[in-house]
């Protein structure tokens, strides 16, 4: 019996996926539930498990975009599992056949260099003129048609010529000038689309402030070892920032809102998206109902989601929704940035690195660990008063965490 394996739906709104990598070769024997491929959707990378044991026949290539429900491989369930013997040479085990198969495969990849050169094109008044479609493509790429050699009739520039045209990189220098091309994953392409969408559809502004992190440094120095020993997670900066954001969102609900047509939707819950760097690029998993989480709850959830993103196990549902985003560029050494809103949200907080700087406290100059913070917001529904007030509220909570975030009871807040 031959089983047709179809692409399962990764999520409600996803209609297409991309074959990122086959984990098996055509003709391999696979076991049921064995991971046979990695597929990229516009939100996550998922593993595709074999639905039965048997010999597999691949029906799609790596990099192919396939619709949900399309057949990507066949599994011959009547085939017997191969004997587990070690091949050491000769004809046994199909060694020569495999060598020949691989040779043909490599030859198929080798471009035909013996193709005939294109016939010389007679130059006429039409030589170098671009078709309307070619003009549009060249304009988008900001390439002068005069620099493109046309392959169409009488030297006309075709759309293919425009698509394949590359802008000049200047006069070649004395060194090597190689280049490589890598197809963007579906996830990376979707991230790019969303970033451009955010820039084009929101009235985005950014406001900045600075935070003296000394109080948090002192708390972590005193309690982080006991906190980790009791709860199994570290007492990091994310719990302080997340709970400070929850408080600020309570004070300024417009920052916890989004536009839906002609209406502003304000949420009474706080689902906080956290931007993390995964093997496939930027991912933004969501912590749900953070207003109900403690320091331990936030640290545990951040750790869980970060591990799942790093291991490529994050699901579409875990990255769906979110009412506000926190992005920590400081882990990469960023001093200051203007983070881009994660649509349809209306605000994102950017954390940055912590640097010892001279500051004035009570009329004297002291050295303190300072972090610059940034809030990018959609000015269509968030005014300057709310945006500045929100960031000041975050700053106040971080600089006085014992009284504002812990209600004066450190051990109770940390569940010590």
Q: Which residues are catalytic?
A: 379, 383
Residue 106 is encoded by which pair of tokens?
Answer: 């490599």
State how far the Cα of 73 lies from the Cα of 53, in Å rounded to an integer.
13
Phi and psi dihedrals of 133, rounded to 5?
-65, -40
Q: Where are the alpha helices (DSSP H) in 232-345?
A: 237-251, 295-310
Q: What are phi and psi of 98, to 5 degrees?
A: -65, -40
| Partners of residue 359 on adjacent β-strands | 366
Strand order in the sheet with 54-58: 2-6, 71-76, 54-58, 29-30
Judged on CB neighbours under 10 Å (0-12, 13-18, 19+), 239 is buried
- 158: tokens are 């075709």
Are the C-beta atoms of 213 and 398 separated by less than 8 Å? yes
φ, ψ at 159 (rounded to 5°): -60, -40
Q: How do strand 35-40 and strand 272-278 relate by DSSP bridges?
A: unpaired
How far apart, in whole angstroms, are the C-alpha atoms of residue 340 and residue 345? 10
DSSP 72-122: EEEEETTSPPPP-----SSSGGGHHHHHHHHHHHHHHHS--TTPPPPPPPP
Residues 6+ apart with CB under 8 A from 249: 255, 256, 270, 323, 324, 390
CA distance 197 to 314: 24
Helix-helix angle 295-310:214-231, to 10 degrees: 80
Residues forming beta bridges with residue 264, ordered by sequence position: 259
3-state DSSP call for residue 318? Answer: helix
E strands, 151-261, where? Answer: 204-212, 257-260
The whole-angstrom separation of Cα 19 and Cα 37 is 7
């Amino acid at each position: 019996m031959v089983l047709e394996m179809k692409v399962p739906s990764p999520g409600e709104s996803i209609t297409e996926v991309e074959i990122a990598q086959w984990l098996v070769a055509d003709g391999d024997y696979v076991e049921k539930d064995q991971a046979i491929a990695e597929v990229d959707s516009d939100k996550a990378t998922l593993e595709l498990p074999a639905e039965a044991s048997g010999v597999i026949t691949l029906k799609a290539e790596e990099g192919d975009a396939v619709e949900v429900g399309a057949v990507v491989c066949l599994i011959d369930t009547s085939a017997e599992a191969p004997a587990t013997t070690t091949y050491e040479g000769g004809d046994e085990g199909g060694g020569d056949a495999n060598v020949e198969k691989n040779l043909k495969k490599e030859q198929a990849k080798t471009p035909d260099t013996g193709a005939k050169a294109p016939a010389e094109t007679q130059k006429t008044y039409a030589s170098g003129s671009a078709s309307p479609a070619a003009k549009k493509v060249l304009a988008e790429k900001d390439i002068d048609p005069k620099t493109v050699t046309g392959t169409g009739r009488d030297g006309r520039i075709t759309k293919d010529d425009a698509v394949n045209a590359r802008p000049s990189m200047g006069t070649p220098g004395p060194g090597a000038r190689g280049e490589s091309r890598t197809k963007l994953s579906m996830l990376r392409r979707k991230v790019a689309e969303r970033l451009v969408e955010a820039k084009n559809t929101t009235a985005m502004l950014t406001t900045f402030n600075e935070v003296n992190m000394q109080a948090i440094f002192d708390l972590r120095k005193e309690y982080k070892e006991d906190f980790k020993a009791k709860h199994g997670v570290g007492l990091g900066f994310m719990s302080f920032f997340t709970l400070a954001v929850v408080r600020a969102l309570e004070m300024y609900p417009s920052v916890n809102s989004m536009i839906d047509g002609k209406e502003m939707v304000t949420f009474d819950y706080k689902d906080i998206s956290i931007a993390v760097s995964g093997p496939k690029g930027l991912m933004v998993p969501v912590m749900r109902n953070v207003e109900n989480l403690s320091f331990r709850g936030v640290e545990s959830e951040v750790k869980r989601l970060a591990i799942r993103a790093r291991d490529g196990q994050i699901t579409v549902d875990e990255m769906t929704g979110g009412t506000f985003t926190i992005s920590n560029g400081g882990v990469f050494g960023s001093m200051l940035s203007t983070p881009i809103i994660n649509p349809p949200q209306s605000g994102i907080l950017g954390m940055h690195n912590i640097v010892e700087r001279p500051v004035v406290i009570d009329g004297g100059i002291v050295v303190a660990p300072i972090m610059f913070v940034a809030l990018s917001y959609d000015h269509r529904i968030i005014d300057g008063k709310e945006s500045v007030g929100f960031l000041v509220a975050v700053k106040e909570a971080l600089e006085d965490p014992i009284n504002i975030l812990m209600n004066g009871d450190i051990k109770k807040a940390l569940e010590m």
